């Protein structure tokens, strides 16, 4: 019997995603942010179920109340840090340096280990709440090792001006992958620390061109070298898409679980297309929205004062609007743009990217997967509370 590779379908569609993101985003705004745990849960359920390896959807089983509890846990710890420690830092910063910059720096440096901590714990929670074919994923406890490795690797990355970044990415990914399980089957990350340098080649090349151009411009003082800088910058930006695609390909294709492997064919050009097309679509729609909003304010204003409507619209008339009305219109406009920006980003950027990576990934030699058995539930009180409470720039 020959096992065909398991292709991945992607079931996400723009219109339902738009409705879900708009509805949950609106509720989040209206509840002063309280609904955000429900929003996140529902969006994840959608995104997870859209990915269907072998035609079977992933399932996200996390709950909003779980995330809320985790967040509150984190708040208890972080409130202390942020309140007391920042106050002390502020005091010493103004006492010793007569300025607040040192306080900000120390405060941020103090947060760094906490950020790595939050990253690992958030992944542990997400894996523990993800199922495929009814079987749970899982990530072993091991946050301490991850935090000190992250600190070392990030220091090395910063000290080498980013040259070691691919080695850092591979190494930290290996630490986590080797602790990842699908049911009773353990994942393994192959390759070595040199695996990802090839994926970075266009970024290095672009940076070298821009750097060389800048040096030449500085020493030769000829403006023609500005062209080299611009070329290098564009090359670097496109090279970043190449990095994203090939990092994913290399890391995923070197993973194995229960005898199965992966084949990935993401295209950097497609990613660039999604970013460019998506940004254009988002800004176009937002401008249209602002235009409509402006007309709506005008109409409202006309209703308020009929004389002015007869006299025709004039921008200086806006100054005669009662102050509270201007304020309400301003707040409303701000939240509308904020909300739609978030919603449109999901529809035009996040989902198309997820679709592309899903549709270009397939499972090979998947015959061993059917024998995988269920693993125990990971009761994880803290959920991803720290990642929620810290500004981690939230991926999915």
Partner 1 sequence: MSTAPDNTLSGFGDYFDGARARVQRVAVTVFPDKVMFEPAEGKPVIWRADELRALPDQADRTGIVLYRAGDKLARLAVPDETIAGALRANAPQLTRRPPVENKGRIAGWALGAVASVALIIFVLVPIMANQLATRLPPDGEKALGDATYEQIRTALSEGDFVPLETCEAPDGLAALDAMIARLDPGDDLPYPLEVSVLDHPMANAFALPGGRVVLFRGLIEEASGPDEVAAVLAHEIGHVVNRDPTRDALRLAGSVGVLGLLFGDFAGGTVVLVLANQLINAKYSQAAESGADEYAHALLTDAGLPPSALGTFFERIRAEHGDAEGITAHFSSHPQMTARIEAALAADAGRTAEMVPSLNRSQWRAFSRVCGGAEGSGEDSAHEKAPASAQHWQDGDES
Positions in 108-137 near partner 1 (CB under 8 A):
132-135
Q: What residues are paired with 60 via a beta bridge? A: 130
Nearer to partner 1, 80 or 148 (CB): 80
Q: Which of 375, 380, 364, 350 is nearest to 44 (CA)?
A: 350
Q: What residues are paired with 44 via a beta bridge? A: none
Nearer to partner 1, 29 or 364 (CB): 29
Q: Is the Cβ–Cβ distance between 291 and 285 less than 8 Å?
A: no
Residue 90 engages partner 1 in binding (rule: CB under 8 A)? yes
Q: What residues are paired with 137 via a beta bridge? A: 182
| Of the candidate residues 3, 14, 94, 283, the single one contacting partner 1 (CB under 8 A) | 94
Residue 11 engages partner 1 in binding (rule: CB under 8 A)? yes
Residue 83 engages partner 1 in binding (rule: CB under 8 A)? yes
Task: Determine the interface stretch with partner 1 among 5-13, 137-145, 226-234, 271-279 (rule: CB under 8 A).
Answer: 5-13
Task: Determine the interface stretch with partner 1 among 116-124, 207-215, 224-232, 316-324 (rule: CB under 8 A).
Answer: 316-324
Nearest distance from C-beta of residue 347 to partner 1, angstroms: 13
Q: Is 246 helix (H, G, I), strand (E, B) or coil?
A: helix
Nearer to partner 1, 222 or 379 (CB): 379
Nearer to partner 1, 80 or 287 (CB): 80
Residue 49 engages partner 1 in binding (rule: CB under 8 A)? yes
Nearer to partner 1, 98 or 303 (CB): 98
Residue indicated by tokens 């980003």: 345
Residue 72 engages partner 1 in binding (rule: CB under 8 A)? yes
Nearer to partner 1, 285 or 354 (CB): 354
Angle (nearest 5°) at CA 114 between 108 and 120: 140
Residue 365 engages partner 1 in binding (rule: CB under 8 A)? no
Q: Is the Cβ–Cβ distance between 247 and 198 less than 8 Å?
A: no
Residue 3 engages partner 1 in binding (rule: CB under 8 A)? no
How does DSSP assign 263-311, residue by residue?
Answer: EE---HHHHHHHHHHHHHHHHHHHHHHHHHHHHHHHHHHHHH-HHHHHH
Nearer to partner 1, 161 or 323 (CB): 323
Q: Is the Cβ–Cβ distance between 30 and 339 less than 8 Å?
A: no
Please give the structure tokens belonging to residue 172: 């930290």
Q: Is the Cβ–Cβ distance between 216 and 183 less than 8 Å?
A: no
Nearer to partner 1, 238 or 339 (CB): 339
Task: Determine the interface stretch with partner 1 among 52-60, 194-202, 286-294, 313-321 (rule: CB under 8 A).
Answer: 52-60
Nearest distance from C-beta of residue 316 to partner 1, angstroms: 16
Q: Is the Cβ–Cβ distance between 94 and 363 less than 8 Å?
A: no
Residue 332 engages partner 1 in binding (rule: CB under 8 A)? no
| Of the candidate residues 7, 69, 115, 212, the single one contacting partner 1 (CB under 8 A) | 69
Task: Determine the interface stretch with partner 1 among 54-62, 145-153, 169-177, 313-321 (rule: CB under 8 A).
Answer: 54-62
Counting residues that bind partner 1 (by CB under 8 A) gives 77
Cα–chain center distance at 373:
32
Nearest distance from C-beta of residue 18 to partner 1, angstroms: 13
Nearer to partner 1, 36 or 270 (CB): 36
* Strands ordered across the beta sheet of 255-257: 58-60, 130-132, 135-139, 180-182, 185-189, 255-257
Residue 148 engages partner 1 in binding (rule: CB under 8 A)? no
Residues 180-219, mask of contacts with partner 1 (x by CB under 8 A): --xx------------------------------------
How does DSSP assign 146-177, residue by residue?
Answer: HHHHHHHHHHHHHHTTTTTHHHHHHHHHHHHH
Residue 374 engages partner 1 in binding (rule: CB under 8 A)? yes
For 67-78, b where at least 16 C-beta lie within 10 A, e where not — what string? bbbbbebbeeeb
Nearest distance from C-beta of residue 155 to partner 1, angstroms: 26
Q: Is the Cβ–Cβ distance between 366 and 5 less than 8 Å?
A: yes
Residue 33 engages partner 1 in binding (rule: CB under 8 A)? yes
């Amino acid at each position: 019997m020959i096992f065909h590779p398991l292709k991945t379908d992607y079931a996400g569609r723009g219109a339902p995603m738009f409705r879900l993101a708009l509805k949950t985003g609106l509720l989040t705004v209206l509840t002063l942010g309280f609904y955000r745990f429900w929003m996140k849960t529902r969006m994840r359920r959608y995104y997870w179920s859209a990915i269907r390896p072998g035609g079977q959807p992933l399932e996200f089983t996390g709950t909003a109340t779980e995330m809320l509890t985790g967040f509150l846990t984190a708040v208890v710890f972080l409130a202390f840090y942020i309140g007391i420690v920042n106050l002390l830092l502020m005091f010493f910063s103004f006492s010793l340096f007569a300025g607040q910059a040192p306080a900000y720096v120390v405060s941020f440096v103090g947060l760094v280990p906490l950020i790595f901590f939050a990253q690992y714990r958030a992944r542990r929670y997400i894996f523990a709440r993800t199922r495929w074919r009814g079987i749970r994923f899982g990530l072993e406890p091991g946050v301490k090792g991850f935090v000190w490795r992250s600190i070392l690797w990030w220091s090395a990355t910063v000290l080498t001006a980013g040259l070691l970044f691919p080695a850092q990415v591979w190494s930290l990914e290996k630490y986590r992958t080797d602790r990842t399980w699908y049911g009773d089957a353990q994942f393994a990350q192959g390759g070595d620390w040199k695996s990802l340098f090839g994926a970075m080649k266009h970024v290095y090349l672009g940076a070298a061109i821009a750097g060389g151009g800048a040096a030449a411009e500085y020493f030769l003082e000829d403006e023609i070298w500005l062209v080299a800088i611009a070329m290098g910058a564009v090359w670097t930006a496109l090279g970043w898409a190449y990095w994203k695609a090939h990092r994913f390909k290399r890391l995923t294709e070197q993973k194995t679980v229960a005898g199965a492997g992966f084949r990935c064919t993401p295209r950097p050009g497609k990613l660039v297309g999604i970013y460019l097309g998506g940004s254009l679509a988002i800004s176009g729609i937002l401008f249209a929205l602002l235009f409509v909003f402006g007309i709506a304010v005008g109409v409202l204003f006309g209703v308020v004062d009929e004389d002015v409507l007869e006299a025709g619209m004039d921008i200086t008339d806006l100054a005669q609007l009662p102050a509270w009305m201007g304020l309400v219109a301003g707040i409303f406009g701000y939240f509308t743009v904020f909300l739609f920006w978030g919603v449109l980003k999901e529809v035009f950027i996040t989902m198309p990217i997820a679709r592309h990576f899903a549709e270009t990934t397939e499972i090979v030699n998947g015959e061993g997967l059917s024998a995988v058995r269920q693993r125990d539930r990971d009761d994880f009180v803290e959920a991803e509370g720290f990642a929620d409470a810290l500004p981690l720039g939230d991926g999915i």
